[in-house]
Amino acid sequence: MKITEPAKVKVAELIDKNKEVMPNESFFLRITAVLDDNNIIKHQVYFDYEKRAEDRLLRFKGFDLRIDEDSYIHLKSAILDYAESEDGHRFFIDNPNSHGHSGENVI
C-alpha cells in the first residue's frame, strides 16, 4: 500500500482535526478491501481508534495506517491519492488488483 504525498498531508491534517474533537483517542487511518461476487474489490477508508490484534501497521509522518490481514492481500499494490479541483476534493484508491475497476472514490 502506497500513499501519495498530497494524500499523506491531507490525512495528517484530518487526523489532527479528529484529535481536537476527541483528544483522548489515538486516531489512525484504516483501509479495508473486500472482494465482491463480481471479483471487484470494494474499498473502505475511514478514521478509527479501535486497534485489532490482526492489523498490519504502517507508520507515516503524522499518522498510522492499519489494514486487517484479509484486506492486506488485496492492497499490496494499491495507491491512496488525494486531489482538489473546482468540483471539490476527494480521496481515491487506484488498485491494479481490482479487475475491471480502478480509481474508486473513497472519502
**pLDDT exceeds cutoff 60 at 68:** yes
| 7 closest CA partner among 83, 106, 77 | 83
Give pLDDT tens digits for 22-61.
Answer: 888 899 999 999 888 888 888 999 999 999 999 999 999 9
Task: Give the pLDDT score at 31.
Answer: 95
Q: Which three cell numbers stand for residue 22?
A: 476527541
Domain residues of the chain, as ranges? 2-105
Q: What average pLDDT does range 17-24 have in this prediction?
A: 86
Average pLDDT score, the chain: 88
**pLDDT exceeds cutoff 80 at 100:** no
At 81, which helix (H) or strand (E)? Answer: strand 79-85
Could you give the CA distance from residue 37 to residue 29 in angstroms, rounded to a whole number? Answer: 26
Q: Which of 43-47, 88-92, 94-98, 102-106 has the lowest mean pLDDT?
A: 102-106
Q: How many CB atoms lie within 10 A of CB 60?
A: 15
- Residue with the larger pLDDT of the pair 95 and 56: 56
Could you give the CA distance from residue 104 to residue 49 in angstroms, rounded to a whole number? Answer: 24
The correct answer on CATH 2.60.300.12 for the domain covering 2-105 is: yes
Could you give the CA distance from residue 84 to residue 61 in angstroms, rounded to a whole number? Answer: 21
